[in-house]
Structure 1
């Protein structure tokens, strides 16, 4: 059952970046600063303005495909722990504390399972997330005559690696070894844990309460309602950590968490910690509307497992 739980989550995960990578790209540009020594202007904190600029300067193909491979690898690593192990950990905690497991598990067991799975997924996916963010923050059009970028946050500078493997190798060389690939892993784990606590248990418990107390049938309409609640909760809870994470991962030196927080506050005040909220919600909302339902269908129809709740 453990293998089938994980396989059901991972086999469904590729659909997420294929549908949402362009939103991550826009969010990364909004949250990142221009590279020192270049001539780039920062992207507007307004989603539509930044989307129009990115589309006009680099085109639809670049908007959609930049960082896509890294996004797929990140999602596979993430969902292995986020949803793949969630039912197992939830039930183990519930039974260890006298519960029966399943949807009737105590809220504390669901939160603990969500936090543990989220933190583990953040650490596992950190190298691919780092590569994705670097690729999307540093992409741009290159002038053939000068060899310099003419758009993006590195405009006026030479392009760096444009592949996932090349970017991972570059990060390792710059950081002095393989451990550099886990730069920002702590804040990545915190973000993933925060996001997971505010999404998976919220999604599951919203469904559980609606079915138990309101007599609502387990239909796509219920999945939609639970997804909306979980999406709002997850995006808002994770937004400040998400901004700090992006600042750490795009920094050219080993900035500390405190330095990143101070820099964001100095640049934009409290609102700076919510930069990119809309593209983050536009990405997370559809994921939570369709992905849990997709996983449940894969669990039941392909792997012979029961529903999450």
Structure 2
């Protein structure tokens, strides 16, 4: 639970985990079309001079959403929703549920007053890294399903669904393959989680000190937008590397993917899909934190 920085959680870990998982899943359902567009843009390679066939297929967030819907149907925008929900139940529940206990561990249980921003960042990075280490297989399957576009007639899809994807990856590539891209994923999710939770915590704390502001929906809205913006600005490069490694098995390592992306597509490639990424993460954070705050109030009312 992300509370104001002076207070300790008054809900059990189990209830915080459940509230966080529910809120993260709800936000995932609402925003996964933007996430699908973001992944397609990130995986799109740079056009080769003189080669008409290499011209980019997807252009911009809305253009990518429109192209996918037109060529593959509206349901294609929700590709990967099942493993996406698997991911949010594990990752969303753990990263948020563990935040307050880990923050208390770093500050000490007898700490009084505002928690330093540095401690919030370290706590959020820790919970993000731990959570994604457990949830990496769900992230891998989600990306694999999202990257598969419209196929020529007669060409079968690589996976028939999320469960088939899990079993096929284990059978064809080994159990360890489920943790493909774990390095950049830990970096990406640790960094983004630090940006999201620490900035939400800090922005909310700052807003509540302004006369006239209270712990209500408006405060949660501004804090959620701030969390999404900082997360995208800081995490976009590692997000691109993570998506490319999970969507293309030809990369040998995180460094290999980074170097090849920089060499072949230029430094701006690390911010490919920035607008859809912000549209997705910004809206995702607003929806998730608004839902989380209301869910916490509801859970408390049941006690």
TM-score class, shorter: 0.7 to 0.9
The residue that corresponds to 2:187 in the other structure is 190
| In 2: Cα distance, 1:293 partner to 1:44 partner | 32
* Structure 2 residue runs without a partner (length 5+): 1-11, 46-52
Q: Check conservation: 2:199, 2:227, Cα contact below 8 A.
A: yes
Q: Identify which of 271, 275, 278 aligns with 1:274.
A: 271
| In 2: Cα distance, 1:125 partner to 1:11 partner | 16
Alignment of 1:30 with 2:35, yes or no, is: no
The residue that corresponds to 2:107 in the other structure is 94
Task: Report the number of matched residues.
Answer: 285
Seen in structure 2, the aligned counterparts of structure 1 residues 55 and 212 have a Cα distance that, compared at 3 Å, is same
Q: Check conservation: 2:23, 2:292, Cα contact below 8 A.
A: yes
* Structure 1 residue runs without a partner (length 5+): 149-157
After TM superposition, give the deviation of residue 45 of structure 1 in Å: 5.0
| In 1: Cα distance, 2:218 partner to 2:35 partner | 27
Deviates more, 1:71-80 or 1:41-50: 41-50
After TM superposition, give the deviation of residue 300 of structure 1 in Å: 2.4
The residue that corresponds to 1:152 in the other structure is none
Report which structure shows greater RCO (CA 8 Å, sep ≥6). 2
Alignment of 1:219-230 (within 5 A): 219-230=216-227
After TM superposition, give the deviation of residue 297 of structure 1 in Å: 1.9
SS in 2 for 1:14: helix
Scaled by the length of structure 1, the TM-score of the pair is 0.85
| In 2: Cα distance, 1:43 partner to 1:118 partner | 33
| In 1: Cα distance, 2:302 partner to 2:287 partner | 19
| In 1: Cα distance, 2:302 partner to 2:15 partner | 8
The residue that corresponds to 2:8 in the other structure is none
After TM superposition, give the deviation of residue 130 of structure 1 in Å: 0.5
Scaled by the length of structure 2, the TM-score of the pair is 0.87
CA RMSD of aligned residues (A): 2.2
The residue that corresponds to 1:155 in the other structure is none
| In 2: Cα distance, 1:141 partner to 1:172 partner | 24
| In 2: Cα distance, 1:252 partner to 1:194 partner | 24
| In 2: Cα distance, 1:105 partner to 1:217 partner | 19
| In 2: Cα distance, 1:90 partner to 1:304 partner | 25
| In 2: Cα distance, 1:33 partner to 1:213 partner | 44
Q: Identify which of 121, 136, 140 aligns with 2:146.
A: 136
| In 1: Cα distance, 2:84 partner to 2:132 partner | 13
Alignment of 1:117 with 2:109, yes or no, is: no
| In 1: Cα distance, 2:57 partner to 2:132 partner | 27
| In 2: Cα distance, 1:42 partner to 1:304 partner | 52
Q: Check conservation: 1:8, 1:295, Cα contact below 8 A.
A: yes
The residue that corresponds to 1:165 in the other structure is 163
Q: Check conservation: 1:8, 1:303, Cα contact below 8 A.
A: no
Q: Identify which of 248, 251, 268 aligns with 1:251.
A: 248
Q: Check conservation: 2:80, 2:145, Cα contact below 8 A.
A: yes
After TM superposition, give the deviation of residue 59 of structure 1 in Å: 1.4
| In 2: Cα distance, 1:274 partner to 1:299 partner | 35
Q: Identify which of 56, 61, 69 aligns with 2:75.
A: 61
Seen in structure 2, the aligned counterparts of structure 1 residues 84 and 305 have a Cα distance that, compared at 3 Å, is farther
After TM superposition, give the deviation of residue 185 of structure 1 in Å: 1.1
After TM superposition, give the deviation of residue 25 of structure 1 in Å: 1.1
Deviation per CA, 1:143-170: give whole Å up to 9, x if none.
2xxx12xxxxxxxxx4211211111122
Seen in structure 2, the aligned counterparts of structure 1 residues 290 and 5 have a Cα distance that, compared at 3 Å, is same
Q: Check conservation: 1:70, 1:164, Cα contact below 8 A.
A: yes
SS in 2 for 1:83: helix
